[in-house]
Amino acid sequence: MILLGWIMFAFASARLCVSFANWAGRPYWRRGRTRYVALPEVSVLIPVRNEERHIGHLLNDLSAGSAGIREILVYDDRSTDATADTVRRYARKNPRIRLLSGGDLPSGWLGKNHACHCLAQQAAGDYLLFLDADVRIREQAVVRALRYVQRTGVSLLSVFPHQRMPDPGTRLAVPLMNWVLLSLLPLAAVRRSRHPALSAANGQFMFFDAASYRALQPHLLCRMSPAEDIAIAREYKRAGRPVAVLLGRYDIECTMYDSLGDAVAGFSKNFFAFFGGSELLCYLFAIATTTGPFVLFLAAGAVPGTVYLAAVVLIRIFVSSASRQPVVANLLLLVAQQFVLWRIILAASLQKRKKNLLWKGRNIYIRG
């Protein structure tokens, strides 16, 4: 029992160090206006399926902040709402916007991966920027991404957008994504290390050097991966291509989910990917973060237990601050968020057992 307590204490200490490093490292791109001077051309690529609520806002953003953008291609994956009509309306006003209409999904593909692959085949830019339809970007965001890639020489830049949480339920689930990521993975190590295990990415904002994309064909390689963003980052590292991950400020935002139920369903489809696909590691993390305080108090006494609780609080403060999330709210919701963590993990396990996952109106078969 005592040994277990000190193992948990060491794990919390390591997570505290990682959280502090991510907070102190300021993993953002440079602020200030960036001049548009003979920029290479970027193809903005947007896969959509039933996104009539969001796609118009994103197309407005891209039309307003158009520096460096050669074209905006939208692949409509057989939407049953007014998504395609919305895109056509914007295309009539902006000739750079083009709608691609998808057909039946081929065997051996997941829908988004196939849509992204088809978009890339039609793109003509020197760089490829894949965006989800629910992302909002401000003027200069595309130029800042381009300048960062040019300055650092990375082949893939992925940005975790600042998350909007309009519903009380989403405030219980959405912060968990960064809480897990930023307490386990130092973002600076993603760029500096060549090891595929030190990989992360967010499919909401993926910025590729087009030459490397066409050489690797990453969406083809990862065509059956529900967490294609992380899988692609690992494939890039295996190929010796540098990858970088940043956190978005308020110039890149996203409203991922509108309710707690949607958030649980969304996160559960790829939550194990945060742990290298290991269900066991995911459960060990949940057990350690849930029972740690009790084990420390029982096994080692009040002082180590109190220090452990202080580490838990500091991790939340560092992660919330780095993520531009409300610090006090995340501290007050700490226990409730832990319950939601278990709900997500149990949902992910159930989906894995059934080999079946419903997402965007489709059944997604999860291998293995």
What's the token pair of residue 171?
């405030």
CA distances from 158 to 74, 192, 314, 336 (A): 19, 15, 26, 30
Note the pLDDT of residue 85: 96
- CA dist 87 and 279 (Å) reads 40
For residues 184-213, average pLDDT = 94
66 vs 334 pLDDT, higher one:
334
List every span in the chain annotated with CATH 3.90.550.10: 42-170+180-256
How confident is the model over 280-326, as pLDDT tens digits? 999 999 999 999 888 888 877 788 889 999 999 999 999 999 999 99
Query: Is the Cβ–Cβ distance between 213 and 120 less than 8 Å?
Result: yes
**pLDDT at residue 360 above 70?**
no
* Tokens representing residue 54 in the block: 């969001």
206, 135 contact by CB (below 8 A): no
Nearest to 36 by CA among 137, 126, 146: 146
CATH architecture of 42-170+180-256: Alpha-Beta Complex (3.90)
**DSSP state letters, 239-263:** TT--EEEEE--TTEEE---SSHHHH
| E strand segments, the chain | 42-48, 69-76, 97-101, 127-131, 135-137, 156-160, 162-163, 205-209, 243-247, 252-254, 357-359, 362-364
Tell me the pLDDT tens digit for each residue of 52-111: 999 999 999 999 877 789 999 999 999 999 999 999 999 999 999 999 999 888 988 989
The pTM for the full model equals 0.92
